[in-house]
Amino acid sequence: MSYTENLWLYFTLLFGIIILPGVDMLFVLASSLTGGKRTGLAATSGIVAGGVVHSLYGAIGVGLLASLIPVLFKPLLIFGAAYKIWVGFGLVRSSIVIEGGEADASASAWRAFRRGIVTCLSNPKAYLFMMAVYPQFLKPAFGPIWIQGVIMGLMTAATQLAVYGTLAMTAGKSRDLLVSSPHVTVFIGRAAGLLLIVVAGFTAWEGIVSH
């Protein structure tokens, strides 16, 4: 697999995970509905800032592992792949829906920004992503880990901004879609699970056949 193909695969999986309804999405939606577009965009900015922090420690952790204990890098890939398959099957079998009530959000843009950071940094889905998914795409064969981490971090931030920013700008219609069309969120969740399984299969195969 080339580096370009690696990045495209990462983006496909990243997009599938970000559009999966979760804590971050609900916070942006709630902020937009209670405080308007400005507050919603501030909440989005906070989520993006939190994502940058996640990307930073993810790249640093993988870089240290690859340079200090390279013998553990391959087992990490295989373990991460197995974990992704387990999570993926859980998503495929689940029925994720959005209820009508959302968490309270602040009318203050600055407070929404700060809460957005805390929400992202305390989001279990983000930590699972960093532990099980992110390391699979940071490979020493493609060059310095920190450069790969910067590129993937920018991709993550841009995708979060696009998805959550659009949600903030169209909060009313987005909420109606998520609440009144549970089959949409169920489909999104199961599609994301299938993506996890497929990507995990590629990762496991590369880890097994690589030398």
The Cα 196–Cα 132 span in angstroms is: 10
Structure tokens at 24: 């971050």
pLDDT mean over 92-113: 62
AA identity, residue 94:
S
Distance from the Cα of residue 32 to its chain's centroid: 21
| Local confidence band at 20 (pLDDT 50, 70, 90 cut-offs) | confident
pLDDT digits (tens, 9 = 90+) for 46-82: 999 988 887 887 777 666 655 555 555 566 566 666 7
Q: Is the pLDDT of residue 106 over 50?
A: no
Which segment, 9-13, 19-23, 126-130, 181-185, is predicted with the most confidence on average? 9-13
Whole-Å CA distances, 120 to 33, 43, 47, 52, 187: 19, 10, 5, 10, 24
HEC assignment per residue over 124-191: HHHHHHHHHCHHHHCCHHHCCHHHHHHHHHHHHHHHHHHHHHHHHHCHHHHHHHHHHCHHHHHHHHHH
Q: What is the pLDDT of residue 162?
A: 95
As a whole number of angstroms, the distance between CA 116 and CA 114 comes to: 5
What is the per-residue pLDDT across 139-176, written as a single tens digit (0 to 9) for each? 878 888 778 888 988 999 999 999 999 988 887 566 66
Percent with pLDDT over 90 in the chain: 12
Number of domains in the chain: 1
Q: Which domain covers residue 111, as residue numbers?
A: 3-209
Rounded alpha-carbon distances, angstroms, from residue 138 to 8, 33, 173, 203: 13, 38, 37, 11
pLDDT for the residue 176? 61
* Nearest CA-CA partner of 127 in 12, 17, 2: 17
pLDDT at 70: 55
**What's the pLDDT band for 44 if we cut at 50, 70, 90?**
very high
DSSP SS3 for 2 = coil
